[in-house]
Amino acid sequence: MTKILFLIPTLMHGGAEKVLVNLANNLDPTKYDVTLYSIFDEGINKQFLQSHVKYRSRFNKVFRGNSLLMKLFSPKVLYRFFIKENYDIVVSYLEGPAARIISGCENPEIQKIAWIHIELNNEKEASVGFISVNSARKAYEKFDRIVAVSETVGECFKKNMTTKVPLQVLYNTNETDQIRKLGLEPVENVFEKEILQVCSVAKIAAPKGFDRLLIAHKQLMDEGLPHHINILGIGPEQEKLEKKAKELGVSESFRFLGFHQNPYQYVSKCDLYVCSSHTEGFSTAVSEALILGIPVVSTNCSGALEMLGENNEYGIVTENSTEGIYQGMKQMLSDRTLLDHYRSQAKLRGSFFSTANTVKAVENLLDEI
């Protein structure tokens, strides 16, 4: 049996954290002895780990200055401090501190994999958790394989970090059957059936572009295209956005529904899903909307063309701007026939991201490396 360790900082409510739990749960337990190691024992996703997945952590809570503290020690010292057992394969499942720790493994018999979830476009992004961008490059060159969650993320890594390590693209693992099942749960007194309902699921933070979505919403409302925007999530930008929505006179139609453990029961009742992000790695929320058969409009961020098609076969990919979001939404919301078309196309594309397909691709890598 192959012993595998996945290392991640926390299991908080993020896309990477969620899909790691999905992956760990679904890897064949007769072939793989899986341990999920969270540096900090925090996060909503921990509760979803199945009993056959071993769980480890080092610290009870995230503490101030932890990243700075870890930079005082070499990757070799950090690896020895955190990883006490021997494994056949060790995986850094997020950029930054996890990658720096795993790069410190000096046993040539242990295979090292780094999972990259975001576009490392500049030195600031690439050096998070490292002393410098050069130290990040040297660390990644110690891995045996790089996994990128989309073609764009992979190309960006090769351009800005290194081409010395073999890289392949593997899509995120979704619990497709569970998503569809949870989508059937009822939602009472939230959505008015006579109004078109638009939703987005994400942390309410600047990279998600909700400020642009708000402006596009206001324009469309002013043009006589009534609809509601429903944001599922929490985050630091919420108060500012609520204030802006009030100033624009759309606080009744641009709504914040908070964080929900089951967002699928809301998404499944909507007419359209919008991803307004400036950047993504490979949007878990978009792939989940497709699984639920919900039409999607997405900015042209990483992974969008791979999910929705180079020629808008499965959804509409827009220019990555406020104007792009506005135009994509206008196209969908003003044409019920188009919405119906993309509803059937979403279901078709959603089947591509099935649990079986994505897990099998990872198992093929683990068996090959």
pTM to 2 decimals? 0.85
Residue 192's pLDDT is 84
Of residues 285, 336, 291, the one with CA closest to residue 314: 291
Token digits for 325? 């979001």
Q: Which residues of the chain have pLDDT under 50?
A: none
- Write down the residue that tokens 């919900």 correspond to: 294
Supply the pLDDT for residue 93: 96
Query: Which architecture characterizes domain 176-352 according to CATH?
Result: 3-Layer(aba) Sandwich (3.40)
Q: What is the pLDDT of residue 67?
A: 84
| CATH 3.40.50.2000 residue window(s) in the chain | 2-173+354-368, 176-352
**Which amino acid is present at 216?**
A
pLDDT for 230: 97
> What class, spelled out in words, does domain 2-173+354-368 have in CATH?
alpha beta
Cα angle vertex 158, ends 17, 319, to 5°? 70
Amino acid identity of residue 263, one-letter, is: P
Strand segments, DSSP code E, in the chain are: 2-8, 32-40, 54-59, 89-92, 111-116, 145-148, 167-169, 196-201, 227-232, 254-258, 272-275, 296-299, 316-318
